[in-house]
């Protein structure tokens, strides 16, 4: 799509791979069909038929090479370019690659013509010599091309290893031709064009498969976006499906391109067919027979059974149980049970379709049962507990349960553990065996009806009956409190600091308990303040702290004050001594 400014790496890989493979296969099928019908109805002469067969091969090779070069380099669409080269060098690379394919194709076609026409050997050697020299020169030109532009505007060459490899192959082809090894030079040239094209296409396919298998890769494809929009698949399910698609693409690449490479390297079609038949029908190792066809059949049967199970789950949940107004927890339990049973059945049928005799596994299963009993006893215990929870249904998804110190809403019940979301939005994964072996409280087991208790303290000396009537009126006045069972206020105790009351109200939905408690407490504060009913508080202990004298700031001032005190004391002592000598008594001051 030319309007896409920044396509993803996966999109560019997919476009390069499929825009090469699919058109080439379409052209190949057309050409092969044409030749087949011409030969079947004997429309052409024998020699013309041979020429046509050779021409068809040339057209297929040239078309495939041109499609691959255009798909990887995209001279007209820089945004979709798989190899980040500049536009000018991209055009030259496409031209050189196509020219090399044309040269090799024409040489092969002329070799068929020369063989059919009985041309002299010198003409064949000259033709092959010219073709190999041209291919070698093109390889050297491609290696010496500078396709990248630096930030300062200067042109940069290919990486050293790629540049030296291309130049070395080109020089080797030219050297072997000049030394007289024309057959070797032709073989190298042919492998560079045809085998190189096959390997590059397969490598792009492998890269596409790896990109699809990465996390979130399949979800970003057009098929993944369509499935995400039109189905209930979550992101994790799409990632798993991406792994399956990746394996399928890799398998297809091996099945398509490996025979082509073997043919190019001189293997006969009969040998390849015999190997494929033996691999498909089964390889016998001792008493075990491994059949690729059987394994693929088993995998396909399991995939079909898996998707049929998921479809039946959705149909049963959305069409049958939803119309029957079945409880959400019951629907979830039935859906999980159907899912586990369907996947187990699909696995058994798939194993049988793969040709694996289940009776042979009985001895192995018996030997492993002892180890499983000791090593996986906790896992088995949780699994069995999960089945009991799904069957007995002591709680369901959406219930508010209390299990030990954990209180929250049930989010998911699986065969191993149960997910509980606390009111702090923390997800707690609790093993099912803990829920079976320990006490579990369920606030919403049969319905959401529940009672909440609110404690209120009234000061001693208050009018107790007035306080009781006031609390009862406040409870009855709340819109969420049920009239039946009616609210009740209990005088619970003569506390050490207050008269203790407890408001007990029933709610249609106990999940609203915090809201009702908040409203009633605020109402109690407001009404008690209007009616002068005191709510006592616990006495607080008053702790007096001894204040220490501040550390002196000015030493000179402290010394002066001390000297003044000493002088005054000395004067008082001298005055007392003088009065003692004169015989006069010291008179006490009068009280104020």
| pLDDT confidence band for 579 (50 / 70 / 90) | low
| pLDDT confidence band for 280 (50 / 70 / 90) | low
Is there a single domain that holds both residue 182 and residue 314?
Answer: no
- Which residue would you say has higher pLDDT here, 156 or 39? 156
| pLDDT confidence band for 587 (50 / 70 / 90) | very low
- Judge whether residue 283 has pLDDT over 90: no
| pLDDT confidence band for 90 (50 / 70 / 90) | confident
Residue after which a domain boundary falls, among 508, 530, 552: 530
Is there a single domain that holds both residue 91 and residue 175?
Answer: yes
- Judge whether residue 179 has pLDDT over 80: yes
Per-residue pLDDT tens over the stretch 484-542: 889 999 999 998 889 999 999 999 888 888 899 999 999 999 999 998 888 887 655 45
CATH number, residue 517: 3.30.70.100
Is there a single domain that holds both residue 433 and residue 480?
Answer: no
pLDDT at 374: 65
Question: Does residue 411 belong to any structural domain of this protein?
Answer: yes
- Judge whether residue 282 has pLDDT over 50: yes
Q: Considering its fold, how many domains does the chain have in total?
A: 4
**Which string of DSSP letters, residue by residue, matches 133-145?**
HHHHHHHHHHHH-
Is there a single domain that holds both residue 167 and residue 305?
Answer: no
Is there a single domain that holds both residue 364 and residue 404?
Answer: no
Q: How far apart are CA 509 and CA 480, in angstroms?
A: 9
pLDDT at 361: 61
pLDDT at 351: 80
pLDDT at 541: 46
Is there a single domain that holds both residue 339 and residue 458?
Answer: no
Q: Give the domain range for residue 402.
A: 394-442
What's the whole-number mean pLDDT along residues 158-183? Answer: 87
In percent, how much of the chain has pLDDT > 70?
Answer: 85
Residue where the block lists tokens 């009280």: 591
Per-residue pLDDT tens over the stretch 299-323: 888 888 888 888 888 888 777 777 7
Residue after which a domain boundary falls, among 530, 550, 585: 530
Is there a single domain that holds both residue 465 and residue 516?
Answer: yes
- Helices H / strands E in the chain, number of each: 18, 12
Question: Does residue 128 belong to any structural domain of this protein?
Answer: yes
Question: Does residue 541 belong to any structural domain of this protein?
Answer: no
Q: How far apart are CA 246 and CA 252, in angstroms?
A: 10
pLDDT averaged over every residue in the chain: 80
- Which residue would you say has higher pLDDT here, 453 or 333? 453
- Judge whether residue 434 has pLDDT over 90: no
Question: Does residue 310 belong to any structural domain of this protein?
Answer: yes
Alpha helices in 355-399 (DSSP H): 361-375, 377-392
Residue after which a domain boundary falls, among 231, 264, 297: 264
Is there a single domain that holds both residue 236 and residue 180?
Answer: yes
- Judge whether residue 591 has pLDDT over 50: no
Question: Does residue 548 belong to any structural domain of this protein?
Answer: no
∠ Cα 481 482 484 (to 5°): 150
Query: 3-class DSSP state for residue 155?
Result: strand
pLDDT at 586: 47
Per-residue pLDDT tens over the stretch 122-164: 888 888 889 889 988 988 888 888 888 877 878 888 888 888 8
- Judge whether residue 582 has pLDDT over 70: no
Q: How far apart are CA 374 and CA 380, in angstroms?
A: 10
CATH number, residue 371: 1.10.287
Per-residue pLDDT tens over the stretch 57-67: 888 888 888 88
* Terminal C-alpha separation, the chain: 111
Question: Does residue 403 belong to any structural domain of this protein?
Answer: yes
Is there a single domain that holds both residue 161 and residue 44?
Answer: yes
Is there a single domain that holds both residue 238 and residue 331?
Answer: no
Question: Does residue 240 belong to any structural domain of this protein?
Answer: yes
pLDDT at 500: 92
Is there a single domain that holds both residue 418 and residue 488?
Answer: no
Question: Does residue 570 belong to any structural domain of this protein?
Answer: no
Cα–Cα distance list, 91 to 19, 94, 221, 583 (Å): 18, 5, 29, 136
Is there a single domain that holds both residue 118 and residue 144?
Answer: yes
pLDDT at 588: 41
What's the whole-number mean pLDDT along residues 211-220? Answer: 78
pLDDT at 376: 64
pLDDT at 290: 66
- Which residue would you say has higher pLDDT here, 62 or 543? 62
């Amino acid at each position: 799509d030319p309007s896409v400014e920044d396509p993803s790496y996966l999109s560019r890989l997919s476009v390069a791979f499929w825009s090469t493979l699919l058109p080439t296969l379409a052209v190949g099928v057309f050409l092969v069909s044409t030749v087949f019908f011409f030969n079947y109805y004997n429309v052409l002469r024998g020699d013309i038929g041979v020429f046509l067969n050779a021409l068809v091969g040339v057209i297929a090779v040239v078309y495939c090479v041109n499609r691959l070069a255009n798909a990887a380099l995209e001279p007209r669409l820089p945004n979709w370019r798989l190899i980040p080269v500049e536009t000018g060098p991209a055009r030259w690379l496409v031209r050189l690659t196509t020219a090399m394919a044309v040269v090799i194709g024409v040489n092969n076609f002329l070799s068929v013509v020369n063989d059919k026409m009985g041309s002299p050997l010198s003409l064949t050697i000259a033709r092959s010599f010219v073709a190999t020299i041209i291919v070698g020169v093109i390889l050297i030109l491609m290696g010496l091309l500078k396709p990248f532009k630096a930030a300062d505007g200067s042109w940069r060459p290919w990486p050293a290893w790629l540049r030296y490899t291309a130049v070395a192959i080109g020089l080797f082809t030219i050297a072997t031709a000049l030394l007289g090894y024309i057959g070797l030079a032709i073989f190298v040239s042919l492998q560079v064009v045809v085998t190189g094209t096959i390997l590059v296409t397969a490598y792009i396919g492998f890269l596409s498969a790896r990109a699809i298998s990465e996390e979130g890769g399949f979800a970003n494809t057009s098929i993944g976006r369509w499935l995400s929009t039109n189905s209930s698949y979550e992101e994790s399910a799409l990632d798993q499906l991406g792994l399956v698609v990746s394996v399928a693409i890799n398998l297809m690449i091996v099945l398509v391109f490996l025979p082509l490479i073997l043919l190019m390297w001189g293997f006969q079609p009969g040998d390849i067919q015999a190997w494929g038949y033996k691999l498909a029908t089964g390889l016998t190792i001792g008493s075990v027979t491994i059949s690729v066809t059987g394994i693929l059949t088993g995998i396909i049967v399991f995939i079909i059974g898996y998707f049929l199970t998921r479809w039946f789950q959705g149909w049963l949940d959305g069409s049958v149980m939803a119309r029957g107004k079945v409880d959400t927890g019951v629907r979830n339990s039935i859906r999980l049970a159907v899912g586990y049973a369907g996947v187990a059945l699909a696995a058994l049928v798939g194993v049988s379709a793969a040709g694996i005799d289940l009776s042979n596994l009985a001895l192995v299963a018996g030997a492993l049962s002892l180890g499983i009993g000791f090593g996986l006893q906790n896992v088995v215990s949780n699994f069995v507990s999960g089945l009991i929870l799904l069957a007995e249904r002591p709680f369901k998804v959406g219930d508010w349960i209390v299990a030990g110190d954990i209180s929250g809403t049930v989010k998911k019940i699986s065969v191993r553990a149960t997910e509980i979301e606390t009111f702090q939005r923390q997800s707690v994964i609790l093993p099912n065996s803990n829920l079976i072996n320990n006490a579990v409280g369920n606030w919403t087991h049969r319905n959401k009806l529940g009672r909440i208790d609110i404690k209120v303290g009234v000061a001693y000396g208050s009018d107790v009956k007035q306080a009781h009537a006031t609390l009862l009126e406040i409870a009855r006045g709340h819109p969420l409190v049920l009239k039946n069972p009616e609210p009740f206020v209990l005088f619970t105790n003569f506390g050490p600091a207050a008269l203790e009351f407890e408001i007990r109200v029933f709610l249609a939905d106990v999940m609203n308990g915090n809201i009702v408690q908040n409203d009633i407490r605020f109402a109690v504060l407001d009404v008690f303040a209007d009616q002068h009913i005191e709510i006592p508080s616990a006495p607080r202990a008053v702790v007096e702290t001894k204040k220490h004298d501040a550390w002196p700031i000015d030493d000179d001032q402290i010394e002066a004050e001390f000297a003044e005190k000493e002088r005054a004391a000395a004067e008082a002592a001298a005055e007392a001594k003088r009065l003692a000598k004169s015989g006069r008594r010291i008179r006490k001051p009068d009280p104020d």
